[in-house]
Amino acid sequence: MRQLLWVAALAACDKGAAPPAPANCKDVVTKARGAFDMRLERAEQLVGNCELSSWNDTTKSCVAKAKTQDEVDTCTEGVAGAKRHMKVAEAMKKMTEFKDQMCACKDTACAQQVSDVMTKWGQQEAQDMAEPPKMTEEDTKKFAQVGEDMGKCMQKAMGGGGDMLPPQPASAGR
């Protein structure tokens, strides 16, 4: 049933002799954004979605002609895995930014500030999505590596230097 609705939506988008969709993703989304009040953040997400999923001409044309966000969503709904890829890619980019910020820290205050901002971002993301995107095994490994790298940087910034145990005092009288 869902596929039937998607095919019907695409057919509705293709009615009439409309000019071909712009070739690049940014132009496609810019055209749609001009038709209604699309948030810049959402437009940037769509450009990433288009590039990552290699939208075909039918999807690009449909998005370029969309007059509402619901129409854009209908156009892109049939792009297999596009939303999952987009959310995972966005989260990986953001987590890598947090890791880089953490690794630039030289003290506890900086590390705590990065941690607080990251926590706030994570809480907001959790509120905004009905369910987390399903990740592949490769995605999971990448996130684990970023987390491990961030943890090492956090320990170093907080004075741990990466060691798990505090230094032992030298024995007197040896």
Hey, what are 145's tokens? 């590596």
Hey, what are 89's tokens? 């890619």
pLDDT at 89: 81
0.75 exceeded by pTM: no
The answer to the question of residue 171 being in a domain is: no
The answer to the question of residue 48 being in a domain is: yes
| Cβ neighbours, 10 Å, residue 30 | 16
- Interval 119-135: pLDDT, tens: 999 888 888 776 666 77
The answer to the question of residue 174 being in a domain is: no
Query: Can you tell me which residue has the tokens 């095994």?
Result: 137
- Interval 49-100: pLDDT, tens: 888 777 888 888 888 888 888 888 878 776 645 566 677 888 889 999 999 9
Q: Measure Cα distances from 101 to 57, 117, 119, 128 in Å.
A: 39, 11, 14, 24
pLDDT at 11: 46
Q: How many domains does the chain have?
A: 2
Quick one: CA torsion of 82, 84, 87, 90, rounded to 10 degrees?
-70
The verdict on 20 and 60 lying in the same domain is: yes
State mean pLDDT over 99-107: 95
The verdict on 67 and 130 lying in the same domain is: no
pLDDT at 128: 74
Residue closest to 48 by CA, chosen among 84, 1, 74:
84
The answer to the question of residue 166 being in a domain is: no
Taking the C-alpha atoms of residue 157 and residue 100, their distance in angstroms, rounded to an integer, is 12
Domain that includes residue 132, residue range: 83-157
Q: Under DSSP, is residue 77 helix (H, G, I), strand (E, B) or coil?
A: helix
- Interval 142-169: pLDDT, tens: 999 999 999 999 999 988 654 444 444 5
Give the angle 59-72-75 at the CA atoms, nearest 5°.
Answer: 35
